[in-house]
């Protein structure tokens, strides 16, 4: 009913940019998805013996991305960060809702955003099941739902004394990309190209999370920096940990930087969306097998040492096993915090 | 760890303003809520034979409310509009996630917002189960979850030829309040006080929705105006309808306005969050009994007339049963649309 020159109405927005993609994917999760987009609510028909995981993340223009950000990558990332939370619990995606505020109706932008969004939604069989569009400063809020066999969710609270601490992939590249884009660090064009996707195009580790069910004792995804996020596991599991700072897995590009930058970015840089998990020593060979099967490096970076006591929970060691001094540890633990800066 | 003069960190925000309220309510839905706030995801343990309803709504400062809005009422309304969607399906609340962008950390504002939010959350046994806080233009995005016995959800697509059309409470007061606040209409102080809560403090009709399971053939909540929203039922049910314009239920305050204002505001004013539903004629006495039990007026405003044909779907009648002319109908059908204005 609307011509190109007229403003599109709210209902047209959903119809034009999001409903076709949502409908096309209905069949992906037909067993569990009883009703998708278009009613007051979506309806799930849970499978017997399965629990449902729910997570919400909000991305705000100027804070999490710039207005000039590539809308296709933005659509992809907005869902990826939510899928990463599902991955950290060991959940398989069911579907997601999208609430989005838009400063204006830019059909080129919306086409690209929807393309990126539905590309990753298809990749992980996670259809759009509902949502809300409104006028406002560009803000994207997604709630993702997943399923896990009852009792199999990997919580933050399950780490045990003696467990290994592991991390997937490598860490610090998103932070290095940010440093280069901000001109804090000069990076050759080739190097930037290598690591930039780590910031703009993170891969939720869904397959890894599913395979870690029954193996990992605790897990979370690294969004605010490895050491800061690891502390959530320590607090909720009431344990301490030792981490070998120089063992953190780093890309070849990050390894070209000074040792100080390498350690800082790998230990505290945010936005990598890798999985940090703990697991009993006897599962090492099973974890190595998962690494081979998924073609994804999984690196042991330390261990859970004891029930928590009066001293600080997280101890950083150098490559000789010597404890790093407290001031250095505290400096490194200043992880990314949206309001503290 | 933070003194009052320091900026609060993101984790402190959740801990300080939202976690206590969330924890206090855990016991409300313990059977279905396996894990609340504080992990990568919340976990639901669905009850056998029940489906899960999911809805997301976003409220943006400057669009849905003003920065000067009472934060306690705002907290209440942000959840109320989502609960209203659950009500329209006949769902019983399970819990909700909250993603909020805040321009700054204003502890007085946050205290009041959380107070309003948890007051209604408690009222409807709907605990906070997860969320995200970030810096940004004031935006509140809530996803609410509810449960319904399998197959009992009241969808928009179930209206049948011959069904009555009903509406709960009265309609048009939120629009009249807006007109008064905008100085479009001069309203005595006493009158404004009477109707203002209808705009700022809507009541989700959860109890009504639950009682309408198995009785209503279709339902939705009225957020964008009665006639505009009713069209969603007509489209999805592939039927036409006749509505007696002068039969729409109006408050005593609205009845003091001109007939033209009365009709326009009742028929197309948004934000009332009443339930519009259809039901077979033989359920009239059951519906009257529900009205008495809930002490909530339920008014028959028209009927579903025939399967849809080439003519327009919705016909408005005057009190003599005469068809109103098309131009007038079209004018009235211009319901609230966030991008069209």
B203 in Cβ contact with B79 (< 8 Å): no
Percent of chain B surpassing pLDDT 90: 59
Q: What is the pLDDT of residue A117?
A: 94
B219 in Cβ contact with B278 (< 8 Å): yes
**Confidence class of residue B7 from pLDDT cuts 50, 70 and 90?**
very low
> What is the dotted CATH code of the domain comprising B10-149?
3.30.1330.10
Q: What is the pLDDT of residue A15?
A: 67
Alpha helices in chain A (DSSP H): 10-13, 20-25, 71-89, 107-123, 173-181, 189-200, 206-211, 226-237, 259-268, 284-294, 326-333
Q: What is the Cα–Cα distance from B264 to B175, expressed in whole angstroms?
A: 9
B233 touches chain A (CB under 8 A): no
Q: What is the Cα–Cα distance from B165 to B230, expressed in whole angstroms?
A: 9
pTM: 0.88
Q: What is the pLDDT of residue A104?
A: 86
| Contact (CB<8Å) A134/B338 | yes
| Contact (CB<8Å) B85/A157 | no
Q: What is the pLDDT of residue B331?
A: 64
The arrangement of secondary structure in A156-330, i.e. its CATH architecture, is: Alpha-Beta Complex (3.90)
Tokens describing residue B119: 């007051």
Q: For chain A, first and last CA: distance in Å?
A: 47
Q: For residue A220, give the 3-state DSSP assignment.
A: strand
pLDDT by position in tens, chain A (length 341): 233 333 455 556 666 777 777 776 766 666 777 777 788 899 988 888 999 999 999 999 888 887 778 999 999 999 999 999 999 999 999 999 999 999 888 889 999 999 999 999 999 999 999 888 888 999 999 999 999 999 999 999 999 999 999 999 999 999 999 999 888 899 999 999 999 988 888 999 999 999 999 999 999 999 889 998 998 999 899 999 999 988 999 999 999 999 888 988 999 888 899 999 999 999 999 999 999 999 999 999 999 998 776 555 788 887 777 777 666 666 665 544 444 44
Test the B interface: residue of A143, A159, A228, A235 with most B CBs within 10 Å: A143
Of A13-27, B13-27, B221-235, highest mean pLDDT: B221-235
Report whether pLDDT(B170) > 60: yes
Q: Which of B57, B60, B153 comes nearest A136 by C-beta?
A: B60
Q: What is the pLDDT of residue B2?
A: 30
- Which one, of A161, A164, A137, A154, lies nearest residue A214 by Cα? A154
Q: For residue B296, give the 3-state DSSP assignment.
A: coil
**What are the strands of the beta sheet with A239-244, ordered from one edge?**
A218-221, A275-279, A164-168, A298-307, A239-244, A314-317
**Confidence class of residue B63 from pLDDT cuts 50, 70 and 90?**
confident
| Contact (CB<8Å) A134/B63 | yes
Lowest mean pLDDT among A15-19, A144-148, B107-111, B178-182: A15-19
Place of tokens 């800066």: A341
A54 touches chain B (CB under 8 A): yes
Query: Judged by CB atoms within 8 Å, which residues 8-47 of A form the interface with B?
Result: 8-11, 13, 34-35, 38-46
Helix (H) or strand (E) holding B279: strand B275-279
Domains B10-149 and B156-330 share a fold: no
Domain-wise residue ranges, chain B: 10-149, 156-330
B112 touches chain A (CB under 8 A): no
Q: What is the mean pLDDT of chain B?
A: 87
A338 in Cβ contact with B133 (< 8 Å): yes
List, as one string, the DSSP characters of B2-27: --TTSPPPHHHHIIIIIIHHHHHHGG
Closest Cα of chain A to B90: distance in Å? 10
A88 touches chain B (CB under 8 A): yes
Span A68-104, pLDDT tens digits: 789 999 999 999 999 999 999 999 999 999 999 998 8
Lowest mean pLDDT among A326-330, B20-24, B126-130, B302-306: A326-330
| Contact (CB<8Å) A55/B45 | no
ipTM of model: 0.86
| Contact (CB<8Å) A54/B137 | no
B52 in Cβ contact with B147 (< 8 Å): yes
B220 in Cβ contact with B165 (< 8 Å): no
Q: What is the pLDDT of residue B329?
A: 66
- Relative to beta strand A33-35, strand A42-44 is antiparallel
Q: What is the pLDDT of residue B334?
A: 58
| Contact (CB<8Å) B132/A89 | no
A170 in Cβ contact with A254 (< 8 Å): yes
| Contact (CB<8Å) B11/A337 | yes
Q: Which of B54, B57, B99 comes nearest A57 by C-beta?
A: B99
| Contact (CB<8Å) B43/A56 | no
Report whether pLDDT(B215) > 90: yes
Q: What is the Cα–Cα distance from A80 to A83, expressed in whole angstroms?
A: 5
Q: What is the Cα–Cα distance from B95 to B264, expressed in whole angstroms?
A: 36
Q: What is the Cα–Cα distance from A262 to A256, expressed in whole angstroms?
A: 8
Burial annotation A56-89 (CB, 10 A radius, 16+ → b, else e): bbbbbbeebbeeeebbbbbbbbbbbbbbbbbbbb
Q: What is the pLDDT of residue A9?
A: 57
Q: What is the pLDDT of residue A328?
A: 66
Lowest mean pLDDT among A163-177, B75-89, B180-194, B315-329: B315-329
Tell me what the mean pLDDT of segment B65-79 comes to.
89
A271 in Cβ contact with A179 (< 8 Å): no
List, as one string, the DSSP characters of A245-259: GGGS---TTGGGS-H
Q: What is the pLDDT of residue B204?
A: 96
- Which one, of A207, A224, A236, lies nearest residue A86 by Cα? A207
């Amino acid at each position: 009913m609307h011509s190109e020159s007229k403003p599109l109405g709210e209902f047209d927005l959903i119809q034009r940019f999001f409903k076709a993609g949502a409908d096309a994917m209905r069949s992906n999760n037909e067993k569990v998805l009883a009703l998708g987009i278009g009613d007051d609510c979506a309806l799930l028909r849970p499978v017997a013996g399965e629990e449902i995981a729910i997570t919400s993340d909000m991305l705000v223009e100027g804070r999490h991305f710039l207005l000039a950000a590539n809308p296709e990558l933005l659509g992809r990332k907005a869902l990826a960060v939510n899928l990463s939370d599902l991955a950290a619990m060991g959940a398989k995606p069911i579907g997601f809702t999208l609430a989005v505020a838009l400063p204006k109706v830019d059909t080129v932008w919306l086409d690209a955003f929807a393309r990126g969004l539905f590309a990753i939604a298809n990749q992980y069989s996670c259809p759009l099941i509902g949502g809300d569009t409104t006028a406002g400063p560009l803000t994207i809020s997604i709630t993702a739902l997943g399923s896990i066999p009852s009792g199999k969710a990997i919580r933050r609270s399950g780490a045990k004394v003696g467990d290994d601490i592991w991390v997937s992939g490598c860490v610090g590249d998103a932070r290095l990309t940010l440093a280069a884009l901000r001109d804090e660090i000069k990076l050759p064009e080739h190097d930037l190209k290598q690591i930039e996707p780590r910031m703009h195009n993170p891969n939720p580790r869904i397959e890894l999370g599913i395979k870690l069910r029954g193996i990992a004792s605790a897990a979370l995804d690294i969004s605010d920096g490895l050491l800061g996020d690891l502390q959530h596991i320590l607090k909720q599991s009431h344990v301490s940990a030792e981490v070998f700072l120089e063992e953190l897995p780093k890309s070849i590009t990050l390894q070209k930087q000074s040792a100080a930058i390498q350690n800082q970015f790998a230990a505290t840089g945010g936005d990598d969306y890798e999985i940090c998990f703990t697991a009993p020593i006897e599962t090492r060979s099973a974890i190595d097998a998962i690494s081979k099967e998924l073609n994804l490096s999984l690196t042991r970076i330390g261990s859970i040492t004891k029930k928590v006591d009066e001293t600080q929970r997280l101890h950083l060691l150098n490559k000789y096993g010597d404890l790093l001094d407290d001031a250095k540890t505290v400096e490194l633990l200043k992880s990314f915090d949206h309001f503290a800066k």
